[in-house]
Each structure stands twice: as C-alpha cells, then as structure tokens.
Amino acid sequence: MPEAPTTNSGNSYFNNNECRSFNIRLGTGMKRLSGIDSTAPFLGQLCSEVYIVNKTGQTVTLFDRSDAWGDAEAINVSRGFLLDDNDSITLRGLTNVNQVSAKTGSGAGTLYYRTQFFSSNPIR
C-alpha cells in the first residue's frame, strides 16, 4: 500500500487546508495583506478566512477589496471595519488573503494574521 503524502509538493494529493502565519508593517497608506514577500505584493495566500490580530498600538481600518468592488475605500469609506489595538477578528468568505487591505489612522505598527480554511466547521 502506498504511503500517504507528507507534503503538497510533487504529489497527486493536495491538502487545501494549509494555514500560514504572516505579519505586515502598516502605516497610514492602504496596504493589501499578502502571503508572499514584498517583491510580489499583489499575490496572496489562498484561504477562506483570515484571523487578524492588531498589535499596531492604534486602531486599524480593514477593507474588503473584492474584484467587484475595486478599491473599497475610494468607493465608500463606510465599508471600512475598525479593529482596536490588541483586538482580533476572523474575516470569512474570502478566496485569497489579498482581498483584505488595512491601514492605520496615524503612525506605523505591525498587524499579525493567519490564513486558514474551514475553522467554523462543526466537529463530527
């Protein structure tokens, strides 16, 4: 009997439930969350949700940047979601972490986030 794959690389089996942790330095300019290094800022990590922890020292505004809405802030600033310092939130209904953007009100700080799939599924 063949052994079960232990990685997604080079196997016919693919585990879609890969979770990854990241952090990003935010300032007052809008910045997309990414799962890729800063040389490829518009690429992201596939996920159905992202868990975000604000450690910037200030309130962060989060935006949904789906392709249908374009730049959510430019269209309507009321689509922003405020996240207090030392608070966390899980945003669901995504297909990629780069659909979420964030910025601070003033100054700079670090936002931590984890991409994930299926965390709200019931235990069977």
The domain segmentation of the chain, as residue ranges, is 21-37+44-116
Region 96-106: mean pLDDT is 89
- Please give the CATH topology (third level) of the domain spanning 21-37+44-116: Jelly Rolls (2.60.120)
| pLDDT the model gives residue 104 | 92
82 contacts: CB under 8 Å, gap ≥ 6: 59, 60, 61, 62
The reply to whether the predicted model has a pTM over 0.85 is: no
CB 94, CB 32: distance < 8 Å: no
pLDDT digits (tens, 9 = 90+) for 66-90: 545 555 555 566 778 899 999 999 9
